[in-house]
Structure 1
Amino acid sequence: MNAPIIKCHNLSHSYSGKAALSNISFICESGEPIGLVGPNGAGKSTLLNILCGFMRSASGNVTLFGHKPGASALSGRVSALPQDARLDPAFSIGEQLCFYARLQGLNTQQAKHETSRVLEAVALKDVLKEKPSVLSHGMAKRAAIAQALMGKPELILLDEPTAGLDPVNMRKIRTIITELSPVTTFIISSHDLAELGRLCQQMLLLDKGVMSTMQLNASENNKPTRFLTLQMESCPAPDVQAKFNNVAGISRVSNPQKNEFIIEYNPEIQPSMDLKIITCINDNNWQYRQLSQGKTLEEKLFFDGM
């Protein structure tokens, strides 16, 4: 039986007496991308640094593919992209990627082939001889991701891979991750919950050094009720809530922020609640922006149960 990709048990670390990680335990199996989320200072970077072997935990145990982080047996199997990764401005993109490939044990010919492969994977095959200074921010981010793809690793740790990118480049990186997911497991740390919601079904939530896990599909499908999230144009919130509460099958309507409504309903009473909501909106001449199944990832992770 294969060892889990990552296995953490009672992992703890602190800085100057302040806990960054507090006895966290979790297991990650190979498969779909996994999101790592939490507020600033939650311990995400500390965890990633420990997983990469850049630092040791104060206590607890962690293994990747059954080996300690940083072990030689993990060479070529595990890769990482720090949030602020930069390529050396003095050398061409191709020279640097070839150098990284040689560090993984590839010979010169193999390194050149691998460099061409990863640059093509991120749609940058034309910048092989260019220096980093000519790249836009989005291109530089993709070039850094190309370095993380070297050697076809089985596990890639990405820290804010889409931070600061425009929608076009965000989509390109999302496509890269999606296309590689059948053979590579990604752990993605990000504050962009919309992006994570598109990519990941499993979430690791860190808050003040304490971890909890969530399987997004299971979190709502196992409940007897369902949810809709409605984004309205400017509207009279009390009237909207009152009208929706009169629709058969709706058990609760909340208004967590301006022009946003979360509708809890019983699908056995009304399986087509989305159509009922749209009918109600039209009957009252309201305008809406979006109606989606379930709660937003933000609501699931940070506000459920509050």
Structure 2
Amino acid sequence: MTVLVDCQGLTKHFGHKAVLQQLDLQIHAGAPIALVGANGAGKTTLLSVLCGYIQPDQGRVQVLGHQAGSPALSGRLGALPQDAQFDPDFGLARQLHWLARLQGMSAAKSRQETERVLALVDLTAEAGSKVVQLSHGMRKRLAIAQALLGEPELVLLDEPTAGLDPLHAKALRDCIQQLSAHCTFVISSHNLFELEQLCGTVLMLEQGQIRQQVAQVSEAGVLRLQLCQENYQPLLPLLQQLPGLVSFLIVSKLQLELRYDAARVADFDVQLLQLLHQQDIDYRQLSRGPSLEQQLFQSGS
């Protein structure tokens, strides 16, 4: 398996505060990887070190086989910084074209790439607009577009959907899933639901070190049902009649967890959906396995 990122003993201080402390980390090519942690845990600092924006005080950092910040990574590593800024008085397409040229693309290839990434983030119609004319969400989508220039092998995204409306946040998630066949994404976010939908592995950063790694593998025999209304009481006796049901747990006012005998009833999820339809009960989501929140914060309790 290809190693994209290799950190050993990574340490970074700001004044007397150690933000990263002897951090060891390897990231392999594959499904998107989530980076989670409390504010101040070191997520943005780690991504900044990997991009070469800041230098570590100690340790070894290699990205795609090169030292972080190496010119050899141009076009191979894409990044969305937390507070990405553009020249407010230049057009979107002009700025992306210039950034593509800095990666070494020809003029024709730069124009082609600019059109491609603007389409990915639904900004084609604003290609000639100046950045100062854009809303906050549009500026965020522009920043994501620049991270995708050149079809990089590794893309680091710091809070990619913060400030996006629900429609464009979903469109970005769909885009990431589509591009993941050829690119590995590392996504820092506080949105656990979003990360749960996207990521195969979750890294939890705490006090400057990777404290926990969770592989997102669906657990056979466990379903989570998210309802639209709190009045689920009439549903409970009907659930108990479903073949294969072992138990159910009321997780919250809108969420139930159902455990069933997957070996005996392989289509339990289908039967559950048929029941909901017959009873005209609306639901928001049906998913397998324990939630990411439960895996991260209840495993040690």
Q: TM-score, normalised by structure 1?
A: 0.82
1:89/1:132 contact within 8 Å kept: yes
Letter in 2 for 1:304: S
Q: How does 1:185-204 map to 2 (within 5 A)?
A: 185-204=184-203
Aligned counterpart, 1:296: 291
2:92/2:126 contact within 8 Å kept: yes
Q: Secondary structure at the match of 2:66?
A: coil
Residues 58-86 of structure 1 show CA distances to partners (whole Å, capped at 9, x for unaligned) of 22222111111101111111011112213
CA distance in 2, matches of 1:228, 1:89: 48
For structure 2, list consecutive stretches of 5 or more residues without a partner in the other structure.
Answer: none
Aligned pair count?
296
Asked whether 1:58 is paired with 2:69, we answer no
Q: CA deviation at 1:24?
A: 2.5
Asked whether 1:169 is paired with 2:162, we answer no
* CA pair 129-272 structure 1, distance change in 2 beyond 3 A: closer
* CA pair 76-231 structure 1, distance change in 2 beyond 3 A: closer
Deviates more, 1:30-39 or 1:131-140: 131-140
For structure 1, list consecutive stretches of 5 or more residues without a partner in the other structure.
Answer: none
Q: Secondary structure at the match of 1:295?
A: coil
Q: CA deviation at 1:249?
A: 6.2
CA distance in 1, matches of 2:199, 2:90: 35
Asked whether 1:228 is paired with 2:223, we answer yes
Percent same amino acid at aligned positions?
41
Q: Secondary structure at the match of 2:213?
A: strand
Q: CA deviation at 1:9?
A: 2.0
CA distance in 1, matches of 2:33, 2:214: 10
* CA pair 19-267 structure 1, distance change in 2 beyond 3 A: farther
CA distance in 1, matches of 2:84, 2:115: 20
Q: How does 1:85-234 map to 2 (within 5 A)?
A: 85-211=84-210, 212-217=212-217, 220=219, 226-231=221-226, 233-234=229-230
Which aligned runs of 4 or more in structure 1 are off by greater than 6 angstroms? 275-282
* CA pair 272-62 structure 1, distance change in 2 beyond 3 A: same
Q: CA deviation at 1:105?
A: 2.0
Q: Secondary structure at the match of 1:305?
A: coil
Q: Secondary structure at the match of 1:19?
A: strand
Deviates more, 1:140-149 or 1:122-131: 122-131
2:9/2:59 contact within 8 Å kept: yes
